[in-house]
């Protein structure tokens, strides 16, 4: 009788060890599921986009994007790898960003990820998000910014530029260093 009980105990112990080993092995392995890219719900997909427009006062701009996805119901065009050239009578600007949205009715623009603005007179702005309000002619962000020009640097946690009144405000905790160009 003792032999039967020892045999049953050995079989049960072996079964418990196998179940435990299986559970441990499955919990440590990573499940990999093939995921197809989500189908775009865009009404229209366009590659190598270029938009040109001329506004009053001699200001011209050209928007280029590697890809555009048009969402008619939302009135929005999603853009990838964006570059905008703005030409004013006395200076020009280049604005680049990795992604963004163009709102068709208002022509407002939101640029995101590694946004850099450079001007022909040496000014450079770096931020992660930048907005353009077409009706107000306003550029702004609530993200940290760095403005630089000829060795001078201004950093803050937001920016508000009003084109009509030609005013610029850097907000938040502002840190500025001005270099007059003299060697030290």
**pLDDT tens string 45-91:** 889 888 887 776 666 778 889 998 989 988 898 999 999 888 877 88
Q: State which residues form the domain around 112.
A: 44-177
Instruction: Give the 3-state secondary structure of residue 136.
Output: coil
Over residues 141-182, the pLDDT tens digits come to: 999 999 999 889 999 999 988 877 888 899 989 999 988 655
Note whether residue 18 is domain-resident.
no
Is there a domain that residue 39 lies in? no
Tally the domains of the chain.
1
Average pLDDT along the chain? 80
Query: How is residue 85 written in tokens?
Result: 């050239």
- Separation of alpha carbons 98 and 113, rounded Å: 5
Is the full-model pTM beyond 0.95?
no
- Classify 10 as helix, strand or coil: helix
Residue 170 lies in a domain: yes
- Nearest in space to 127 (alpha carbons), one of 149, 154, 146: 146
- Determine the Cα–Cα distance for residues 153 and 58; give it in Å rounded to an integer: 30
Q: What are phi and psi of 132, to 5 degrees?
A: -125, 120
Question: Can you give the CATH number for the domain in which 76 is found?
Answer: 2.60.450.10
- Per-residue pLDDT of 7-25, as tens digits, reads 676 666 666 666 666 666 6
Query: Which H/E stretch holds residue 71?
Result: strand 60-71
């Amino acid at each position: 009788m003792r032999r039967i009980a020892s045999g049953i105990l050995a079989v049960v112990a072996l079964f418990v060890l196998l179940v435990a080993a299986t559970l441990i092995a499955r919990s440590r392995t990573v499940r990999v599921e093939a995921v197809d890219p989500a189908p775009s719900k865009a009404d229209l997909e366009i590659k190598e986009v270029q938009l040109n427009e001329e506004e009053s006062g001699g200001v011209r701009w050209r928007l280029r994007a590697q890809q555009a996805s048009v969402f008619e119901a939302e009135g929005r065009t999603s853009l990838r790898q964006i570059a905008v050239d703005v030409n004013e009578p006395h200076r020009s600007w280049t604005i680049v960003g990795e992604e963004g949205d163009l709102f068709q009715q208002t022509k407002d623009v939101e640029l995101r990820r590694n946004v850099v603005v450079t001007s022909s007179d040496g000014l450079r702005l770096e931020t992660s998000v930048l907005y353009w309000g077409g009706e107000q002619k306003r550029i702004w962000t609530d993200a940290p910014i760095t403005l630089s020009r000829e060795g001078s640097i201004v950093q803050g946690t937001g920016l508000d530029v009003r084109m009509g009144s030609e005013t610029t405000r850097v907000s938040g905790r502002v840190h500025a260093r001005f270099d007059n160009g003299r060697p030290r």
